[in-house]
A and B are shown apart, each in its own frame.
Chain A
Amino acid sequence: MARLTRQMRQGGGPFAPSVSKPSAFQQYKTLLAKDLRQEFRTREMLTSMGIYALLVIIVYGAALALTANGLDIMRMGGGLLWVLIVFTSLLGLGRSFAHEKEQGCMEGIMLVPLDRSVIFLAKATANILFLLAVEIIAVPLFYFFFMSGEPVAPTFPAIVAPLLLGTVGMAGIGTMLSTITMNTRAKDVMLAVLFIPLIYPLLYACVTATTVAITGTEFWIDFFVMPLVLACGYDVVMLLVCWVLYDFVVSA
């Protein structure tokens, strides 16, 4: 009898099939797997972002053609690398909700009784993974084209830390903003107009840390840790704000 009342309280009669509600983590995994599977089948984002990154590098080649020899490329490298990452991620983030919208996938997701912040986390994770994949291609290419002529500082591998922190923050803020801009006119312009000012503090900190790691001067660690702490703080604050507000944005 007790079992029966418990079942009834859970919403099913005694003969209703027992349906257990999947946990938030399972929902997260399913949504993330959906994004990744779609990408593996179409390879739309990775190819477009990869080719775009290569094209930006080629444009750098033209821009620096007459100055590269006389220029301290190691000091400029960090900044140029981040310009590449910012514009490539703008391209990817703009696309990340486009096919959800085109194929009506978003309506399907919204019908599922799940916590909306799970959608945010899944989408942000997918964007982080795509961005990291592009960076894994773009950073060696950048090194190959511009830095291979110079001796490398032993601190060079430390650029992984700012790259990771910057990618996490940019993907988080970008996921939120691309959800907003998917419903606006002139989507791509709107995304750039909102995205670049909002990631600016993060960008500033990451460029500083990357440049310090690439040049690897004396006492570099003092100048390396401070921007990283700032970037980390900005990431945490922004991700929390986006996570809280995402429910409103996606339901609108």
Chain B
Amino acid sequence: MSKGKARVPEAGQWPDRLAIPALAAGTVLTSAAFLLAFLYAAPVNGAALDAPELVGGVMVTHQQLISQKIFYFHMPVAIVSFAALAFAAYYGIRYLSTREARFDTCSRVAMEISLLFVVFTMVTGDLWTRFEWGVWWTWEPRLTTYLILMLIVIAYFVMRNAVDDPERRAVFASVISIIALVDVPICFMITRLIPSSVHPVITREGGMAPDMALTVVVALVGMMLVAFGLYRLRFREARLEERVQALKEQLDG
């Protein structure tokens, strides 16, 4: 095991000073990506039209998919949710190897962030499903695997509420966070394994055009920063709560 005492994350150090700027920068970048998606990235061709038509001064031969703009938010949000899950599992492993309660707090906060982004992914994905495929839900492989990912994350919090002993709760939560990570590669790979899936594999279809790639990168960086800022703020709050609890116990005892 580690030599001496493991370094534990603590609130109020240098990353916390970055939290507010990161949140602000993330908001700006995400808003910029929103504008880029509509003003800069070229519209994507849908089904072919019977005859070329003049739309907004440009001749088009295909339907222009406005709903495709959701992609610029849907994919970055999903990637951030995976990243947050990876952090939750990492802190879960750290907890199991050091038994330091702080890592459990980190794992829980990362899981909360991941739940937030999983819900965003489901909402943006559902908008797409409704407007492009005409149904609210379809049992398509990636939708299904992502839905069960959401259910596992929800089950994680249900399980935390059902255990009273804090040490035992931390062990179980760490184990579930590690198991939940197993579903991430499945969810990621499923469109490659089952090619009938309606989710595109972008690398298989020749990659993205530069204007699309730029928009996606801006949105991704912005959302990563938002997630980081939220994580640090929530972590500080959790730490303050723990300290208040410890003080209360000291005063009572």
Contact = CB atoms under 8 A, between A and B. Distances in A.
Interface of A: 176, 180, 183-186, 190, 193-194, 196-198, 200-201, 204, 230, 234, 237-238, 241-242, 245, 248-249, 252
Contacts of B55: none
A248 B96 contact: yes
B168 A183 contact: yes
Contacts of B10: none
B152 interface: yes
| Chain B interface mostly | helix
B159 interface: yes
B145 interface: yes
B148 interface: yes
A197 B148 contact: yes
A252 B183 contact: no
A198 B152 contact: yes
Contacts, number: 66
A220 B53 CA distance: 47
Interface residues of B, number: 26
Given A190-B162, A194-B155, A201 B145 contact: yes
B172 interface: yes
A167 B213 CA distance: 44
A93 to B, nearest CB: 15
B101 interface: no
B158 A193 contact: yes
Interface of A is mostly: helix
4 residue pairs, one from A and one from B, having the closest CB atoms: A252-B171, A184-B162, A197-B151, A200-B148
B235 to A, nearest CB: 24
A190 B148 contact: no
Contacts of A204: 144
Given A180-B159, A249-B175, 12 more contacts: A180-B172, A180-B176, A183-B165, A185-B164, A190-B162, A193-B158, A196-B151, A200-B148, A201-B145, A201-B186, A248-B96, A252-B172
B159 A194 contact: yes
B196 to A, nearest CB: 11
Contacts of B171: 248-249, 252
26 contacts: A176-B175, A180-B172, A183-B165, A183-B168, A184-B172, A185-B162, A185-B164, A190-B162, A194-B152, A194-B176, A197-B148, A197-B151, A197-B152, A197-B155, A200-B148, A201-B148, A234-B186, A237-B182, A238-B179, A245-B175, A245-B179, A248-B174, A248-B175, A249-B172, A252-B167, A252-B172
